[in-house]
A and B are shown apart, each in its own frame.
Chain A
């Protein structure tokens, strides 16, 4: 029927507008480009790398970048580009699961604290303060030291120190929403606290959480690299950016490229994700959205 508009159809212009506004912001464009490149490289490495990742080729060890080995070779003659590509998978996997744990537990805890208040809120938030009191990387080192080194344990460690970040953010943002009239209206409509949280509170803080996830993702990549550098994260021979830095350390004067390229990869990734996070924060800001 002409002129007939169904529910949800007004959504389309909103996304088109995000795209238009996003395109005009250099931060979002660069951040999105870097992140897309990272994911693309990781995906490609699953099916193809220039050389086999773990196969040593001692005769060509410690070569400078060349046409055959674009980023050179390490002390065992392994191709640095191939290892960087495979390392990206490792970084993404660890960070994704770790942030997933942090948000998956932190958001419900924060929402529960805001919805229930009282003693439940006290317990949740004091537990948060306790976790927050330790520097993130230090507690990750402690946890991996207890549980033993390895990729899975580093995921758990990074995940745990992500929980209070999300719990705090969720509680703070939810508390102010609980005071709003539309929540009272929802209660008048007969909804319980759980339903209101799911239908009214969480959708209103979704953009906030998305931005925080982007930033925590960058921090998790950094933390994973840090743990691997200390030998507590991903174990050799599996490729990891942090491990590559560690191995390059002793060869700094002979083959500086071994340290430079993983360093650049970590820096570029973190920078890209931070730019993306900052850009998304501006883009998803409801105050700016209202101006439509």
Chain B
């Protein structure tokens, strides 16, 4: 069953120099209990997509299209109805655990807040649940008393508190926006394992936003690759990794260090994609990646290529995709 369905989502930001398109015709489906990786480089619109789903776009942003969640179009809902969904059915984990917690409130109180507000629990019951949640995310008493303040915890521990807050009201969808980017490598692995574990356990859908292909590989069943506000490739994670079709996906893959070393030959040099992401104010008429693409040809320039299906559940928006398997 489809839990979240994003259709033709376009977001335009009003700037002093004119309207800047941030997202263009983004669409994807996420099944209940499913997992989707959203990957791309900085500024490609990943976080904007997450904020659009949460209904927290900046005030200067105009969104068109549809974001259907549990049968309701979130873009058409009034703020009051959105407030009731946020934290209750929709939850989010942020990139920066160091600043995502209120410095003057105890972690127990911050976890309990959502329970009291959304579920109407009494103080005692909410605090008892908060203690259980903290224990669930790996912060057991008495070492991690609910009376601790955020500054008494490390980054990884704070991210666990943020996850506990997100899980508190048993949401249907968890959006994790670069949840491990600000953490050291060992905490990264632990936090990702925890996210996957609690998502599976609670049967909640995970929308995992990252620039790290290894994170997508390990944690999601399907993925989309975004570039300059557009979806350039989509499919099952295994299918996409096996036959990366878009030149940008391949470039991203060749530029990935770290955890992918296991599947790469030793001594491989990381490749960089030449050039820069086009400025949203001056995007080319044709393929947005053409300016940096090694396979670009004359027919890439007049119009944005439409998505074409390569295999069941694998599509690419490219006129000259790689059709051979991804080189190891």
Contact = CB atoms under 8 A, between A and B. Distances in A.
Interface of A: 3-11, 180-182, 184-192, 195, 199-200, 203-204, 206, 286, 290, 292
B56 A181 contact: no
Contact of A185 (B84, B104, B165): B165
Contacts of B99: 180-182
Nearest to A185: B100
Given A11-B147, A181-B94, A187 B56 contact: yes
A192 B83 contact: yes
Please tell me the size bucket of the interface on B.
Answer: 35 or more
A190 B88 contact: yes
B147 A199 contact: no
Given A189-B86, A190-B87, A192-B83, A10 B103 contact: no
A180 B97 CA distance: 12
Contacts of A192: 79-80, 83
Interface in B108-164: 108-109, 112-114, 117-118, 127, 130, 141-142, 145-149, 151-152, 162
12 contacts: A4-B142, A9-B147, A10-B145, A10-B152, A11-B147, A182-B100, A182-B102, A189-B114, A190-B84, A191-B87, A192-B83, A203-B102
B142 A3 contact: yes
Contacts of A206: 104
Contacts of A180: 99
A286 B91 CA distance: 29
B105 interface: yes
Given A181-B100, A182-B101, A188 B56 contact: yes
Contacts of B130: 7
A152 to B, nearest CB: 37
B127 A204 contact: no
B102 to A, nearest CB: 5
A187 B165 CA distance: 13
B94 A10 contact: no
- A-B pairs, 4 with minimum CB distance: A190-B87, A189-B87, A10-B147, A190-B86
A190 B83 CA distance: 4
B223 to A, nearest CB: 23
A246 to B, nearest CB: 46
Contact of B102 (A4, A9, A195, A204): A204
Which residue, of B79, B101, B106, B147, has the highest number of chain A Cβ atoms within 10 A? Answer: B147
